[in-house]
Amino acid sequence: MTLEPAALVAASVGYLALLFGVAFLAERGLVPARVTQHPLVHALALGVYATSWSYFGSVGYASRHGFRYLAIYLGATLSCLLIPVLWRPLLRRTRELQLTSLADLFAFRYPGQATGTAVTLFLLAGALPYLALQVRAVVESARVLSPSASPGVLALGFCVTLIVFAVLFGARHVTPRERHEGLVLAIAFESLVKVVALVLVGVWAVATVFGGFGGLEAWLEAHPEALATLQAPAREASWAPLLVLSCAAAFLIPRQYHVAFTEAPEREALSTATWAFPLLLLLMNVAVPLLLWAGTALGLPGPADFHVLAVPASRGAPALALLAFLGGISASSAMVIVTTLALAPMCLTYLVLPLGYARARSNLYGWLLWARRAFIAAIILAGYGFYRLLDARASGLVDLGLVSFVAVAQFIPGLLGLLFWPRATRAGFLAGLLAGGGAWAGLLLPSLWATPGFELARARLSEALGFPTSEPWGLATFVSLTLNALAFVGLSLATRPSEEETEAARLCASEGPGLARGGVTAESPEEFRLQLEPVLGSEAARAEVASALTGLGLSWEERRPGELRRLRDRIERNLSGLLGPVVARMAVSEALRLDPEARTALADQLRFVEERLRDARGGKVPLEELERVRRYLRRILEDLPLGVCSLGPERDVVIWNAALERLSGLRAVDVQGLSLERLPAPWGELLSRFAAAPEADAELQTMLDGRERILRLHRSLLSPRAPDRGEGAVLLVEDLTERKAVDARLAHQDRLASVGRVAAGVAHEVGNPLTAIASLAQNLRHEDDLGAVRERVELILQQTKRIDAIVRTLVTFSHAGTSAGEARPFTRVPVRPLLEEAAQLARLARKGRDVKCEAVGGDGLEVRGDAQRLEQVLVNLLTNAIDASPPGGTVELVAEASTEQLHIRVEDRGHGIPPQLTRRIFEPFFTTKQPGEGTGLGLALAASIVREHGGLLAIDSRPGGGTTVKVSLPVARRE
């Protein structure tokens, strides 16, 4: 029985039109969302895995290799069992990072244009044999039913038809990041058609050829060699290569990755795929031996690959034969359409966009859409060209498909590194891909053209390594993956990951952001749009900024630096789905530059944790995600530069981080699990006493390694509102010794600078009493009256005391309040003498200025502190006030007390401080004075000293109306 070629063409075009109608209705929303979004639809769409090599070729493969044809499906089933370990983590990353293709995934983890280009070219090379397989299967299946059909016309017509339908099916949206619900529904429908057709033909064959399953059993008993032919190869050869290849192909070949991750529905569908996808494959497998035995019983000529057509055709069932043919069209067309839809964006992203062809186009979206369509046509035509180049004597359909499976398997090491090995580097990935790809090309591609000399050499190598000569993919899989893994691991260990690679590894592990590289320079979303216009064009720039704002729930009026940084990251991720991560990163880095001086790392980390915990409260985060957040929080504590000691309910050590290890000299492994009291001295007593103290903060001195150190301790309870619940605490330990020493040295240097300024005033001040002493001494030589002599001697002594007081004040002020960071104990300091001495020093320092300096109040008041350091604060404030005052002005130093606080005000009537400088005057080394007139340390040190005394320093300035500096200190309580 034969069919006319026109009938086959009409049936094929009509069937593809039916598929387009299904997709069209879904895209227009005429199919309910509960259908298009149903997990079972997604699981059926994964049936695109079963192409013409499964539909046609499995019977032929079973005739040569027996039950080992099942390995192709058992490997896919094994892959489904790994959904929690491999598929689900990949789905999370592709959604969060907007990675729409396999090339995007690897280019993000192993950053660089070279990675994306290498992956794209390798996937394209690996897909061409598979595309040629589909064309060959359609042509040869058509000739089984219509021998008079022209192979060339059939092949070209099939490819042109698929180009049209591929563009209509999947190149309708601007960006591949949008889900094609119509396409997914059409692929699911195709999966049902090919399963139903294959099972129906198998059952029909049993019924008509053998008279039912009882007749089949009788035939097998009469022909035991039929069953032995299936069993013997399964026992004699290894299943491992096929299991590995099919397990990887189930989610790594471009069409599977596209359906499993890019086209995944919003609701969780992988749980359904765990059982529905293997069940779909099982139903297809059941029919394979039935068709093989039916063809054998009928003595059908030709290859067993097409028994699914030949059996009904030989028994005069044209309708069933046509249904079987359409099942084959389903298997082939679905594979070609989805593969080209997956490869076209990759080619555009990594082969064209880096050349800058899309830069600042007026209609970027339209250009990208038509470029993708052009690549769809080019890829399908490349598959047709590869089909024309194939040797007619090339192996069966399955053998041809395995060439592509071995190619895709080369991504296994890189994928494992992406998920589980942060140390993996781009150099290692590229080296592994080059080594494995070279072995694949050298061992398998020549066999597609049936070169006898090559076949003989490969057979000898297979025998030497213990692989069967009839299955070259076993040798190719072993050699290529071994070389790949060795190069990947070896070069990754030999090279150091860049900062970009480290950050990508952290994001791929969902550990949250690492150290932020700075804040954005733009101050509004509108500036984002303007900066993106030269790169994306006006329309695309506005659309992308608006989309990112909507996704984050922000408005165009946003001005907060932290939110603008989030907006930049969201724009980059959205562009990653449109242009690929490499080009997106280049575009955003060029347009939306960062300020490397801005420090936002801790805020980004805490924001990540807060978002994940908020999602957890809403039930959006699975348990494994919460566990990842817990590990991330622990890593933050471990990496803090402060010493962290986390305590359990029984005050046992849970975390003893690296900073505390360095400070204490105690290793974490030695102290974890010990109670605080059992820690080695002095830490046991020190921490246990502080943990039990009522104060949550303390600063104390202790001896460590023979040195006296100043430590600041802080305690945070896990249940601050119910401290008695015993849920643990966190102790923070900070070593202030070096900082105190630096502060003391800076303060002393500033004090010496002040002494230098005071010196001129002292010389003038001392000159007057010295002149009086000289005059009195000269008069003594001529004085005979004893009373007059005594009077003049008394005057000399008074002037000497005056000089002594001036010099003593200068010497006392020049001495540091602390030495090498060792704190002097605080004492009770009378306020009135402190004010008078500070005013005198300020007058001496600014002797040449016609400005009065008056001290008011403070009688009977006392504070606790270091008199010399407090005096330094007041001298700094007074000299600044004198410098700011006009000639003839007055600076007042006023002290008054409230119930608990002493307030000292330094008031001048100068020109005031401009508002734009108010926030910076406390920065170290910032000064508005001319070079050489100020160190820029005065106010910074003054604020630091006041804080050490438990006080606060505030400034109230009115431009043109003077400045008031207010120092608030705790009043010393009466003893």
CA distances from 646 to 4, 668, 669 (A): 81, 11, 14
For tokens 């076949």, what's the residue?
455
pLDDT in tens, 831-848: 888 888 888 777 766 665
Helix axes 224-236, 58-65, angle to 10 degrees: 80
Q: Which residue has the higher pLDDT, 612 or 526?
A: 526
pLDDT in tens, 60-117: 888 888 898 898 889 999 999 888 888 888 888 887 777 888 988 998 899 888 898 9
Q: In this structure, what DSSP letter does residue 725 have?
A: G
Kindly indicate the confidence band of residue 514, based on its pLDDT and cuts at 50, 70 and 90. Answer: very low
The rounded mean pLDDT for the chain is: 79
pLDDT in tens, 587-618: 676 666 665 544 444 445 445 555 555 555 55
Q: Which residue has the higher pLDDT, 536 or 953?
A: 953
Residues 6+ away with beta carbon under 8 Å from 880: 938, 939, 965
pLDDT at position 816: 43
Q: Give the three-class secondary structure for 954.
A: strand
pLDDT in tens, 120-141: 999 999 999 889 888 988 888 8
657 pLDDT above the threshold of 90: no
DSSP of 626-666? HHHHHHHHHHHHHH-SSEEEEE-TTSBEEEE-HHHHHHH--
pLDDT in tens, 278-288: 999 999 889 99
Contact 114, 425 (CB under 8 A): no
Identify residue 270 by its one-letter amino acid code: L
Rounded mean pLDDT, 446-452: 70
Rounded mean pLDDT, 31-38: 86
The DSSP bridge pattern shows strands 707-717 and 862-865 to be unpaired
Q: Measured on CA atoms in the order 113, 119, 122, 125, is the torsion positive or negative?
A: negative
Q: Which residue has the higher pLDDT, 748 or 393?
A: 748
Q: Rounded CA gap, 700 and 553, in Å?
A: 47
pLDDT at position 603: 44
727 pLDDT above the threshold of 70: no
Nearest to 66 by CA among 306, 233, 286, 237: 233
Q: Rounded CA gap, 346 and 349, in Å?
A: 5
Rounded mean pLDDT, 516-534: 73
pLDDT at position 602: 44
pLDDT at position 513: 46
pLDDT in tens, 378-391: 999 999 988 888 75
pLDDT in tens, 789-847: 776 677 677 667 767 766 665 565 555 444 444 456 788 888 888 888 888 777 766 66
pLDDT at position 707: 76
Rounded mean pLDDT, 350-378: 74
Structure tokens at 183: 């396409």
Q: Measured on CA atoms in the order 780, 781, 787, 793, is the torsion positive or negative?
A: positive
pLDDT at position 975: 56
For tokens 């849970």, what's the residue?
654
pLDDT at position 600: 44
CB count, 10 Å around CB of 6?
10
pLDDT in tens, 870-896: 887 888 888 888 888 888 888 889 998
Structure tokens at 289: 């031996």
Q: Which residue has the higher pLDDT, 264 or 412?
A: 412
pLDDT in tens, 300-312: 887 788 889 999 9
% of the chain residues with pLDDT over 70: 78
